[in-house]
C-alpha cells in the first residue's frame, strides 16, 4: 500500500533542521514544508537542507516555496532574479509574442533552478487581477489588470514550469483584485455579485483549469454575496464552484492559516479542520510554531490527502518524493 500523505505544511526556523523539527517532520499529519528566506543561504546549503528534510522520514514530503519573482522571491543570491510578473504584463502590452515567450521562459527558469536544489513546488502563478487597490496585488505580483491577459500569461508561465517538470499552483482563488484590505492583516469583504466575479476574477482560474493546472490556493476573502464564509473555508467556493462548476480535480492548498484573514477563531486546529472540511487538501501554517504544534496535537487523523491527488503532483517530481 502507498504511504499516507498528511495534510499539514509547516515552516522551519533556520537554514538547518533543529532537533524539534526532525521530530515534527515524522508526525503522520505532516505532509510538507514551506521554505522562507530565513532558511536560505546559498544553493549548496538549500540543497543540503532539502536532502535533510527528505531523510527525516521514509514517507513522502512536499518541499515548497514562494518563488514568484519580484518582491516575492525567497531564494536570491545564487539564483536568477526573476522580474515582477507585472513587468511581463507591460512587455505583453508592447509585444504580445515577446510577453508570452518571456512568461514561459521565466516559468521554466524558476522551476528548473528550484528542482535542481530539491524543491518540489513554487506556489505560482498569481492569477489575481491588478486593479491597483490591494496591497497583496499592487506590488507587481499579478501580470495585468485584464483577466484575459492574466490568463494568457499565466498559462505561458505554467507551461514553462511544466516543461521543467514542476506542477503549477494558481492563486488566490477566486481573486484579490477588488478588495483593499491586506489578508495578512485582516479578512477583507468583497460584496460584488456572483455574475461580476465570474466574468472578471474567475476567468484566469477557469481557463488554467481547462489547460491542466495541477493545484489551486484559495484566498482569505469573504465574498458576501456568494457565501458567509471566506473562500479558503467555504465548501460553496471549494466544492460547489471550484470542484463541480469549474471541474477542478487537482490539489487545493490553503493559504497560510496564521494570516489575519484566517482569524475567525483563536484555535488553529479549528482553522485547519474547517479548511480541510471545506475542501482543502493541504493546510499551511507558517511563522507560528505553537500553532503548528496545536494543529498536529488536535487535528483528527482522518484528514489525509488521497494518493490519487498526490500523484498529480508527484508525477512532476521525477520520483524524488
Q: How many helices (H) and strands (E) does the chain have?
A: 11, 12
Count of residues for the chain? 321
The owner of cell 460584488 is 192
What DSSP element (H or E) covers 34? strand 30-35
Q: Which is the catalytic residue, given 27, 105, 184, 270? A: 184
Residue 296 phi, psi (nearest 5): -65, -35
Q: Is 253 helix (H, G, I), strand (E, B) or coil?
A: strand
- Assess whether 255 carries a catalytic annotation: yes
Cα separation, 43 vs 25, in Å, equals: 22
- 318 is annotated as an active-site residue: no
Q: Identify whether the C-beta of residue 269 lies closer than 8 Å to the C-beta of residue 294.
A: yes
Backbone angles phi, psi at 250, to 5 degrees: -85, -155
Residue pair 131/85 in contact (Cβ under 8 Å)? The answer is no
Contact 126, 143 (CB under 8 A): yes
CB atoms within 10 A of CB 83: 15
Residue 244 is classified by DSSP as I
**Measured over all CA atoms, what is the biggest interatomic distance in the chain, rounded to whole angstroms?**
53
Catalytically annotated residue among 255, 256, 301, 319: 255
Active-site annotation, residues: 184, 255
Amino acid at each position: 500500500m502507498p504511504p499516507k500523505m498528511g495534510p499539514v505544511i509547516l515552516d522551519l526556523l533556520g537554514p538547518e533542521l533543529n532537533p524539534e523539527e526532525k521530530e515534527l517532520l515524522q508526525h503522520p499529519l505532516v505532509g510538507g514544508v514551506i521554505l522562507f528566506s530565513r532558511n536560505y543561504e546559498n544553493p549548496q546549503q538549500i540543497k543540503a537542507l532539502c536532502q535533510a528534510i527528505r531523510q527525516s522520514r521514509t514517507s513522502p514530503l512536499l518541499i515548497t516555496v514562494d518563488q514568484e519573482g519580484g518582491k516575492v522571491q525567497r531564494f536570491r543570491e545564487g539564483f536568477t532574479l526573476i522580474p515582477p510578473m507585472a513587468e511581463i504584463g507591460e512587455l505583453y502590452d508592447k509585444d504580445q509574442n515577446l510577453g508570452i515567450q518571456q512568461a514561459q521562459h521565466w516559468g521554466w527558469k524558476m522551476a528548473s533552478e528550484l528542482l535542481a536544489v530539491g524543491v518540489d513546488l513554487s506556489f505560482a502563478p498569481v492569477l489575481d487581477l491588478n486593479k491597483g487597490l490591494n496591497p497583496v496585488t499592487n506590488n507587481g505580483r499579478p501580470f495585468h489588470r485584464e483577466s484575459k491577459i492574466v490568463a494568457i500569461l499565466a498559462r505561458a508561465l505554467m507551461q514553462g514550469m511544466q516543461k521543467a517538470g514542476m506542477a503549477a499552483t494558481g492563486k488566490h482563488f477566486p481573486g484579490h483584485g477588488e478588495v483593499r484590505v491586506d489578508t495578512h492583516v485582516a479578512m477583507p469583504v468583497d460584496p460584488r455579485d456572483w455574475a461580476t466575479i465570474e466574468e472578471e476574477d474567475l476567468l484566469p482560474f477557469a481557463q488554467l483549469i481547462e489547460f491542466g493546472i495541477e493545484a489551486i490556493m484559495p484566498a482569505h476573502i469573504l465574498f458576501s454575496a456568494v457565501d458567509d464564509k471566506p473562500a479558503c473555508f467555504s465548501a460553496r467556493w471549494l466544492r460547489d464552484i471550484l470542484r463541480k462548476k469549474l471541474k477542478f480535480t487537482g490539489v487545493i492548498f490553503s493559504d497560510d492559516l496564521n494570516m489575519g484573514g484566517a482569524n475567525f477563531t483563536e484555535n488553529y486546529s479549528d482553522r485547519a479542520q474547517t479548511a480541510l472540511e471545506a475542501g482543502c487538501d493541504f493546510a499551511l501554517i507558517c511563522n507560528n510554531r505553537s500553532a503548528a504544534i496545536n494543529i498536529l496535537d488536535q487535528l483528527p487523523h482522518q484528514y489525509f490527502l488521497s494518493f490519487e491527488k498526490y500523484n498529480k503532483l508527484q508525477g512532476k517530481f521525477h520520483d524524488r518524493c
